[in-house]
Amino acid sequence: MLFEVWAPDAGRVALQWAGDRSAEPAVPLARDTGRAGWWRTEAPARHGDRYAFRIDGGPPRPDPRAARLPDGPGGPGAVVEHGRFAWRHPWPGRPLPGAVLYELHIGTFTPEGTFDAAAARLGHLADLGITHVSLMPVCPFPGTHGWGYDGIAPWAVHEPYGGPDGLKRFVDAAHGHGLGIVLDVVHNHLGPSGNHLPEFGPYFTDTHHTPWGTAVNLDAPGSDEVRRYLVGSALGWLRDYRADGLRLDAVHALHDGRARHFLAELSAAVDALAGHLRRPLFLVAESDLNDPRTTAPRTGGGHGLHAQWNDDFHHALHTALTGESHGYYADFARAPLAALAKTLTGGFFHDGGYSSFRGRAHGAPLDLRATPPYRLLGYAQTHDQIGNRALGDRLTARLSPGLLACGAALVACAPFTPMLFMGEEWGARTPWQYFTDHTDPELAEAVRAGRRREFAAQEGSAPANGGRPAADWPDPQDPATRDRCVLDWTEPATEPHASLLAWYRTLLALRRDRPALTDPDPARTRVTYDEEGRWLLLRRGPLGLAVNLAARGTAAVPVAGAARRAAARTPAFRALAGWPEPLLPDEGGVLRLAAGSVAVVESEEAEWEE
């Protein structure tokens, strides 16, 4: 078997056996004459054998490309022969257009917190109408429980979740239910605990800095191999684990001053792999830049990613539903329905105008004819937007079932690709709080203190903290914090959760069955609203979604258009869905909605006239 490692500054490198073979002598590696900085050797090995590398006689360190770290971060790697796994379900792939994503955290989706336990619940997602499961990071991180964004080994799988074979069993089971898999990967930083990459080479650079410390080296000397390291990791998830897409964490923190951005290099490699495998593959960016270049074609100077999260839609929807106005919600809270209407028809709210939160202009206009709306993900809740609140409180903690139903309908009927956060579909009351399991006491205390500072800066005086003092905020290192976040699977059988779950199923069935709801033409999405009356009407071709977000009172929502009402030519409508019940417009073409209610109707004509 070939063992190789990039260690450009090393004087000598040795392969050190571990585990059952720890008594065997080390095997020296020779310089690779064809690749500068690389070392290689051939040695007999089999699946599961444990090994490490020693640089210049130093302590054994895990292979940066190890696919398995059975003892966790910092421990020896183990040989993984991917071809040994027996896949049961052939998989042609599932593309992004028409998708509905479901963000899931393996460690809290079930009490067991494993791939196998989560796989047993996949039938629930298929019945719900989900098309892709979007897994939060699964690379190794310290301890047992954590969000996963402190991973240290981009080629390996967290052992407590089930390791490489556990992930493959989960993916295979998902494919058996017709579900695609999206993996959340972190290229902008690596966690500090157990991270020995700097001993091998210049994986990091002081040229740039991120909120998490020294930046990954994408443009300084040695960055060619670092970029290959990250691209190789990404392709491995898609090839060896049969994932359908990757969610790229915080791409705005990928500091790269080279002429060809790392993201363009990555997207080109993924597109090439899709052609080789003959199945669709896609990349979804999390970006704070509101930059159309993120998804613009590479031929036009863009990065060529296939989609990006749309936080502007979330922020507008959140302020419209909750009335919150602190932090980054301030820009949206001035006129939340206008902000919501702007995102529904234009994609970005911040498209070059002034942002009071940032104290400067932000973003650029997005041409939805060149970048169809489905290439933006729309959502009411995510792990970030819930977990970065001091109490990790979901919308369920603040909204009535009616307003939750309104939010669900706006996400499902928007022109974007919808995404739900686990448990949202039944209005889960379990919080989603920030939790860690650092084994280093100093690091644990630093994370604890840092998180409290962040909470205080973001919402210390906001209603979102529940009026509780900072001393009562959850301790990330307390095991009880993670335990509170585990979904309660008895809830869906009780009210109001059962009714809300049925509502989500209805909405996702509509999205699947009504072509207008997946129509990529932005010209066929129109919005009217009344800021004071707190109602909004979203039209997608012949379909109309009307919501009344007011706390009290009935909203009169004109769905037929003034010209038609004046001419007494109100078109006929079908009631498709509604909360608490389906409704039809009256003879004057007006929908009369109670507070916290929603109606989805369909015109018998192809389009509605204004």
The residues carrying an active-site annotation are 249, 286
Q: Which residues contact 387 (CB under 8 A, 6 or more apart)?
A: 147, 432, 433, 434
Distance CA 138, CA 596 (A): 38
DSSP for 367-427?
-TTTS-GGGEEE-S--HHHHHTSTT---GGGTS-HHHHHHHHHHHHHSSSEEEEETTGGGT
Looking up tokens 């109670």, which residue turns up? 594
State how far the Cα of 513 lies from the Cα of 602, in Å rounded to an integer: 13
- End-to-end, the C-alpha distance of the chain in Å comes to 70
Q: Where are the beta strands (DSSP E) in 84-225?
A: 101-104, 132-135, 180-185, 204-210, 213-216
| Phi then psi dihedrals of residue 483, to 5 deg | -60, -35
Look at strands 245-248 and 180-185 and give their pairing.
parallel
DSSP 25: P
The string of DSSP codes covering 78-89 is E---GGGS---S
The type of residue at 306 is H
- Asked if residues 22 and 15 have their Cβ atoms less than 8 Å apart, the reply is no
Q: Nearest 5 degrees, angle CA 126-CA 512-CA 346?
A: 115
